[in-house]
Structure 1
Amino acid sequence: MFAPTFNYTSGIPGLELAELISYSVQFVFAMLRVGSFILAAPFFAARYINLQVRIMMAVALTIPVITQVEMPPVDVLVSMKAVPMILSEIALGLAAGLVLSIIFGTAAVAGDRIAATAGLGFAAQIDPASGTSVPVISQLFSLFMLATFVSLDGHLLALRMMIESYNYIPPGGPLLTGPMLEAGKEAARDMFTYSVQLMMPVVSILLLVNVLIGVITRSAPQMNIFSFGFPMTLTMTVVLLFVGAPVLGKANEWVMGSALDLLDHMLQEMANGRR
């Protein structure tokens, strides 16, 4: 009897199984940064986007990276030396995505404060992006921000920044936490600053309306504040949001530009610190 012979090849012409495994290890390592960014960035991290779709996006975005950027040797990636490298790549992708998410929280904060001032804080529903219960106005503001982000190709610009970051921040290098911490603090500061600027026109007018309602009910105590004040406040809120929609769109565009500029500044500072 003849013993069966096995051909331990990868099935790809000219590529051995050992080489295929080496390429796979380097491919997975290259996918960590952009995959972490997709898991944390606005729009990509929404719950209505399936995990399988995110994985496919990360794989597709890693293909041009693995063909143009030199990865660490496989001997290093399969040893304990790869642990800090892996953590650095994941931290970089998460930090980049969280910087955008924090600034994009401007819309949610502004909408929440407007809803509280208008007495619509009880009108809440489940946000499909985060899975939490938020006021309807806050959700409308967040959806408007995401619509602006996508319609102006902001998501493509963010992905391009992450892919280009492989050129000046080589994978496997030391992690610089200073620029990431500074970017996080600046993003939190900008979130509250921009949210005040977005909500102040509507909140100021609603405050004057509430003062007017208080004067009227004080002058005529027989008028019920709930049957008179709440419909008036609600109507004024709807009118203000309708009239201010074009201005809100311009403000969302400006906030989106500031978020992308901060992301680019963080990546540039990390690149300069490694030189």
Structure 2
Amino acid sequence: MIQLTFGFGAVEAELWRLVFVMTRIGAALLAAPFFGAAAVPVQLRVAMTAAIAVLVCAWVPLQVPPALFALPGLIAIAQEALVGLALGFVLQLSFAAPIVAAEQIGGAMGMSIASTADPLSGAHSPALGQYFTVMLSVIFLALGGHLTWLQLVIDSYQVLPPGAAWLSPEQLHLVISFGGSMFVAAVAIALPVTLILLLVQFLTGVLSRSAPSLNLFALGLPAGVLAGIAALIVAAPLAAEQMADLSAEALTNAAQVIGQ
């Protein structure tokens, strides 16, 4: 008897291979600032993950666990998700530095009460945080950082092949240590503006002591806002250079996580 076969077994194997490859890429896109934003539809994110996974399956030879729903397969899926989340989280740490800097500047200017919805996370953030976030996003995209980061995600399949992709304790400690770099970058961004605001507040305090009849709130708040806006305009070129360095540092940190 002749048994007909239409090759559906091979098609099913390729489908599960595609789903397995999509795990790392999807986790990285979910944790990344741009691709994981609340404004990005889930359908678009899944489509991007599938498109990149098809290219990875064609370019990189991969060994997929024979049974994904068995214990070894579930462990391999957890490994893929961990690597993807680490790559996206490192990028997210760098993009959190302007938000921290905006908190400091807004508090010194008296504008901490002004907040808007962050399009990246959906949470409320200072209005100045939107300014710094948009500036960093434009510079990051202009430098091609998103393409370099996607290349790092694809290269991670060769450096950390599936099935042997557990991050070492040194790599996990490296990811945590990037939080300190984030605070250092936030201080560097906020330092020029906060220094000027500190001088304005010092002069306002001197005037209030020398002339107690002056209303401190009526004088200090407008002076702080005007001085802060002027300082932001003057420090804009310096902030642009800091954003470019922050973008390069984010990509360097992501490369260090996968050992490149």
TM-score for both structures, normalised by structure 2: 0.94
Contact residue 85 and residue 172 of structure 1 kept, 8 A: yes
* Range with bigger deviation, 223-232 or 88-97: 223-232
Q: Report sequence identity in percent.
A: 32
Please, which of 128, 134, 138 is the counterpart of residue 143 of structure 1?
Answer: 134
Counterpart for residue 172 of structure 1: 163
- In structure 1, the residue matched to 2:185 is 194
Matches within 5 A, 1:57-206: 57-73=48-64, 75-206=66-197
Q: How far is the alpha carbon of 1:115 from its aligned partner?
A: 0.2
Q: Identify if the C-alpha distance between structure 1 residues 60 and 179 changes in structure 2 by more than 3 Å, giving closer, same or farther.
A: farther
Matches of 2:110 and 2:64, distance apart in 1: 60
Give yes or no for the alignment of 1:54 onto 2:53: no
- Native 8 Å contact 2:33 2:120 kept in 1: no
**Structure 2 counterpart of 1:228:** 219
CA contact (8 A) 2:39 2:120 kept: yes
Match for residue 272 of structure 1? Answer: none
- 1:263 aligns with 254
What root-mean-square deviation, in Å, do the aligned CA atoms of Structure 1 and Structure 2 show?
A: 1.5
SS of match in other structure, 1:142: helix
Q: Distance in 1 between matches of 2:171 and 2:122?
A: 27
* Separation in structure 1 between the aligned mates of residue 235 and residue 71 of structure 2, nearest angstrom: 56
Instruction: Report how many residues are paired.
Output: 257
Q: Tell me which residue corresponds to 1:34.
A: 25
Instruction: Check conservation: 2:35, 2:45, Cα contact below 8 A.
Output: yes
Rounded to whole Å, the distance in 2 between the matches of 1:80 and 1:21 is: 20
For the pair shown, which has the larger CA radius of gyration, 1 or 2? 1
How far residue 8 of structure 1 moved from its aligned partner, in angstroms, is: 6.8
Deviations 1:146-186 (A, max 9, x none): 12111111011000111111122211214123243122222
Question: Which residue identity is paired with 1:70?
Answer: P
Residues 38 and 120 in structure 2, CA contact (< 8 A), matched pair in contact too: yes
1:146–1:73: structure 2 CA closer, same or farther, 3 Å change rule? closer
Of the structure 1 ranges 165-174 and 49-58, higher mean CA displacement relative to structure 2 is found in 165-174
Q: What is the letter of the counterpart of residue 93 of structure 1?
A: G
Tell me, in whole angstroms, the C-alpha distance in 1 between the residues paired with 2:167 and 2:99: 30
| Equivalent position of 2:235 in the other structure | 244
Separation in 2, partners of 1:40, 1:244:
31
Q: Which residue of 1 aligns with 2:35?
A: 44
Alpha-carbon shift at residue 205 of structure 1 (Å)? 1.1
Does the CA contact (< 8 Å) of 2:65 and 2:76 recur in 1? no
- In 2: Cα distance, 1:248 partner to 1:37 partner: 28
Distance 2:65 2:153 in 1: 23
Per the alignment, in what secondary structure is the counterpart of residue 81 of structure 1?
Answer: helix
Give the match's secondary structure for 2:62. coil
- Higher mean C-alpha displacement, 110-119 vs 165-174: 165-174
8 Å CA contact 2:20–2:64 kept in 1: the answer is no
- Aligned-partner SS, 1:90: helix
Provide the rounded CA distance (Å) in 2 between the counterparts of 1:264 and 1:106: 19
Residues 8, 226 of structure 1: CA spacing in aligned structure 2 closer, same or farther, 3 A cutoff?
Answer: farther
